[in-house]
Amino acid sequence: MMQMNERKLKILAAVVESYVRTGEPVGSKMIASLPEIHVSAATVRNDMAVLEQLGYLEQPHTSAGRIPTILGYRLYIEKLMSPADLPEEERERLDHMLGVNGNGNQMSEELLIQNATTALAELTQCAAVVSDFSPQFSVISKVEVIPTGKRVYVILLITSGGSIKNKACRLEFDLTKEQLSWFSGYLSEHLEGISVSELSDELMENLTAAMTAYMMSLAPLVQGVFELYRDLRQHALLCKGEKHLFSYEDLDKMEVVRFIEHKDELMQLMDDSFSGIRVVFGKDRENFVIGNSSMIVSKYRKGRKNVGSLGVIGPMRLDYAKVIPYIAYFSQKITDLISEQSEQTREPCPDEEDQKKI
């Protein structure tokens, strides 16, 4: 009697779906009128009372219909819903939004991630968040110092992930050809081929010491290198489409503003290790505090390593069956694309080094 059965699950699913669609508490009559339910409203009522006792549903007040509890959503997501599948044409559309244009054209990981975020925000009408620490796993493939204008030098740093960083530095005087090539050579020698995660403060300090020993007034350049190093190590958190959050009645505006200003609190949550797709509900954890909201995240990988997570934040009342497949598709696609790139660029590495040492 007090236990679950097929029909109760069906009713739970129906409640979730109807509530997600309309935002109104769902009554027994409404449920009974559904084609897939073949019992009367009274029976539905009995079942709903049980579902409430079990903690899957709740009533905002006595004479209203039921709405799902967090527990209810969770059960629905894990066991009951049938995720929409993406027809071929839909996938093409998604690829297009990612900027993946058929011809295996070069595209930096950074841009890919950005496009994914924008696309996800657009598609789901939610805030899309990405926590990306893939740069940490890429290798510095090139460092150059380029004179440009008087006394101005641009340091250029390229990683195997295809991200290109640069920084202009102004010196007090112009470098001679020898000085420039020494500096440039020194940097190449000590940085190229090193993976970003191997870059340590220690290593950088040695570098700094060596270079300022060579010539004190290189300091601004050294400083530039240091800043680039910090940029590289930075763990990027990207967020787009926050504005959508303001259109949901059931999210508290104040909490949304707070969230926007303290996004970084999320990082820990996103970086937790987990596999597959994870759904977290607002106020469930202390570092994600928008009431009535939920966050859906998935990891993406580079080769076998998790290098980031992407997902969306929206109202708890969200069409999970639609949103989850998007996230799944994007995380898979990104994994494919950056893994493939890393294959292509990691292979040549030894070659390059050989060439250099000739």
Partner DNA sequence: GTTAGCACTCTCATTCTCCGAGTGCTAAGT
Partner DNA sequence: ACTTAGCACTCGGAGAATGAGAGTGCTAAC
| Binding segment toward a copy of itself, per CB under 8 A, in 178-186, 250-258, 273-281, 288-296 | 250-258
| Binding segment toward a copy of itself, per CB under 8 A, in 25-33, 193-201, 328-336, 343-351 | 343-351
Which residues, in sequence order, are bridge partners of residue 165?
Answer: 157
**Residue 260, Cβ neighbours under 10 Å: how many?**
14
CA 108 to CA 162: how far, in whole Å? Answer: 5
CA 313 to CA 280: how far, in whole Å? Answer: 9
Our finding on whether 66 is near DNA (CB under 7 A) is yes
Residue 161 structure tokens: 């992930």
Of 63, 148, 247, 273, the residue at the interface with DNA (CB under 7 A) is 63
Phi-psi region of 147 (alpha: psi -120 to 50; beta: other; left: phi over 0): beta
> 52-74: b or e for each residue (b if 16 or more CB lie within 10 Å)?
eebebbbeeeeeebbbbbbebbb
Shortest spacing between CB 60 and DNA, in angstroms:
7
Residue 98 structure tokens: 């990612």
Q: Which is nearer to a copy of itself, 34 or 237 (CB)?
A: 237
Q: Which is nearer to DNA, 52 or 231 (CB)?
A: 52
Q: Which is nearer to DNA, 1 or 216 (CB)?
A: 1
Residue 43 interacting partner from a copy of itself, DNA, none (CB closer than 5 to 8 Å by kind): DNA
Of 2, 61, 261, 354, the residue at the interface with DNA (CB under 7 A) is 61
CA 2 vs. chain centroid, Å, equals 41
Q: Which is nearer to DNA, 29 or 262 (CB)?
A: 29
Per CB under 7 A, which of residues 174..193 are in contact with DNA?
Answer: none
Our finding on whether 2 is near DNA (CB under 7 A) is no
Our finding on whether 246 is near a copy of itself (CB under 8 A) is yes
Residue 39 structure tokens: 């019992």
| Binding segment toward a copy of itself, per CB under 8 A, in 57-65, 159-167, 232-240, 269-277 | 159-167
Cα Rg of the chain, angstroms: 27
Our finding on whether 4 is near DNA (CB under 7 A) is no
Helix (H/G/I), strand (E/B), else coil: 165: strand
Helix (H/G/I), strand (E/B), else coil: 319: coil
Shortest spacing between CB 142 and a copy of itself, in angstroms:
5
Which residues, in sequence order, are bridge partners of residue 312?
Answer: 128, 296
Per CB under 8 A, which of residues 102..141 are in contact with a copy of itself?
Answer: 104-106, 108, 141
Residue 129 interacting partner from DNA, a copy of itself, none (CB closer than 5 to 8 Å by kind): none
Our finding on whether 27 is near a copy of itself (CB under 8 A) is no
CA 215 to CA 205: how far, in whole Å? Answer: 15
Residue 345 interacting partner from DNA, a copy of itself, none (CB closer than 5 to 8 Å by kind): a copy of itself
Q: Where are the beta strands (DSSP E) in 133-248?
A: 140-147, 152-159, 164-170, 236-240
Helices 109-124 and 320-346: crossing angle in degrees, nearest 10, is 170
Residue 164 interacting partner from a copy of itself, DNA, none (CB closer than 5 to 8 Å by kind): a copy of itself
Per CB under 7 A, which of residues 218..247 are in contact with DNA?
Answer: none
Residues in contact with DNA by the rule CB under 7 A: 1, 7, 24-30, 38-43, 45-46, 48-49, 52, 59, 61-66
